[in-house]
Chain A
C-alpha cells in the first residue's frame, strides 16, 4: 500500500559524550530534545507529539513531558527495546498523517556506565513471570547467548567463519576512526577480533557492541513544516515492523523478522534493495549485522559471510556502506538501545553531513533496520526507508 502523506525527519541530534557521571537522566533527555529542535530550527513550543521508551524516567511520557513543559496532543511509548526509536519514527509519521500531531519529538537517553550497569552483557534480570523466558533462563544464559547460538548455527548451515564475522567489526572501526566522539576509535584487524577473548564461544569480546551513556533525539514533522525549515529534506517513504518469537519451540533461529519487514518497507517505498546507497543496521553483535544483510536482501541467505568479507561494509570501497558513525560496535550504544543512533546517522548521510571520509557520494536513499530484543527467541525488527527530497 502506497503512502498518501509523507513525514519528514527535520531534526536529529546525538549527545556528544559516551560517559555522563555528572548529569541526570532527565537532563540528558532534555539536552537531546533541545539539540534536535535546534538542529531542525524549531522550539520546544512547536512540539505537540512525544515519543519515548522506558529509558525516559517516570511513568511513560509523564515525567519528561512535564520536565520539558510539553503541550501534547499525542504521545506513544511503544517499547520494543533497541528498535523502539526506529518504530517511533514510523509511528510518528502515522500520527502526523492522521492529523494527531504536527511536530513529533522522539528521545533516548541513558547512563548505564555512570550507574555501574555496564558490565558487558548482563545476566538476565527480567520478570520471571515472562512466559517465553523458560527457553533460556535456568541454564546460565545471559544476553549474548542466543546471539552466539545463532552465530554457531549460521556457521553450521552456511560455513560462515569467525573471520568473516570479524570483518563487520573491522568495518565499524574503519568508520569510527573518523568520529571524534566514538567510544572506540582505534582501527582493528580481523586477527585482533578473533584473537580477542572469547566471551561466549563462538563470539569474542570484539564481536560485541559497546555499552555507553548518552542518547539522542529526532524531530519528525509534516511536509509543509519541514519545507519551511532551512535543513536538507529527509523523507520517510517506507516502514514496516513485526515481532518474532519462539512459536512454541519451532523457530528457525537463523532467520530474523527482518526478512518480512525489509521487503514490506521497500515495497511501500517502491524501491528495490539494490537502490539503497547507505544502510544503518543494528549491530548489537557482528552476527546481528550479518543476519540483517541476508534477511533484508542485500545478499542471499547464507552469503552474508562472503558479503562482509574483505571490507565489504566499508564506505567508499565496500559493497554497501553501513553504520558510518562506527555503529554500536565502535561508536555508541546508549542505554543498550541502538535504534536512535541508527536513524541519526542515516539522516546525516542523506543530508550529506556525515564525516567526509565516510560520506556516501550522492546518498539519496537509505535504509534503517533495528532489531529490538533478541534474535532467535523474541525480537521486533523495524525497517525504515528514507530518501533525500528536493
Chain B
C-alpha cells in the first residue's frame, strides 16, 4: 500500500510551489498562448520551449468522475472520488471533489479549486459551485 505520490520532476516544481501558495499556476505558451497540463518542457501545439507560469482561475467544469470502492492507498480511504475537470483556461486536470456533491451526474457541473493539506503536502481539491448548477 503506501501513500499516493506526487510527480515532482524539474518541470513540475513551479506548479507545486504555486499549489503550496494556494493559487495554481500552469504554463502558458509564449507563442500560441495555450495553457498546458501536465507541466512539460515544450508546448504540444508548436514545441515552443518558452512558457510563462500564469495563475489560472481555478474554475472549470467536471468532464468525468469516478468513485473508488476499493482501497489502493493509505491516504485515500474508500469511498473517495477522482474528478476530471476542464479548467476554463482549457486543459483537463484531475482533482478530487470535496464538500457537497451534486445529485445525479456530476458531468457539466461547475467547480472551483480550493486547497488543503493532504498527506503532508498541499493539494488542490474541487468545490461544487452549486449556485452555477448545470
Contacts and interface: CB of A to CB of B under 8 A. Distances in A.
A152 B93 contact: no
Q: Is the interface of B mostly helix, strand, loop or mixed?
A: loop
B72 A123 contact: yes
Nearest to B84: A149
A48 interface: no
B6 A145 contact: no
A140 B75 contact: yes
A251 B92 contact: yes
A149 B38 contact: no
A248 B7 CA distance: 16
Contact of B69 (A123, A128, A153, A199): A199
A379 to B, nearest CB: 16
B38 A156 contact: no
Interface in B111-134: 123
Interface residues of A, number: 40
Contacts of A122: 72
B68 to A, nearest CB: 5
A82 B44 CA distance: 26
Contacts of B91: 248-250
A153 B107 contact: yes
Contacts of B15: 134
Given A135-B37, A140-B80, A156-B105, A145 B68 contact: yes
B63 A134 contact: no
B64 to A, nearest CB: 4
A132 B95 CA distance: 15
Contacts of B105: 156
Given A139-B96, A152-B66, A134 B5 contact: no
Interface string B73-86: 10110001010100
User: Which 10 residue pairs across A and B have the least CB separation, nearest first?
Assistant: A249-B91, A140-B76, A134-B38, A248-B44, A248-B36, A249-B37, A148-B66, A201-B67, A153-B64, A123-B72
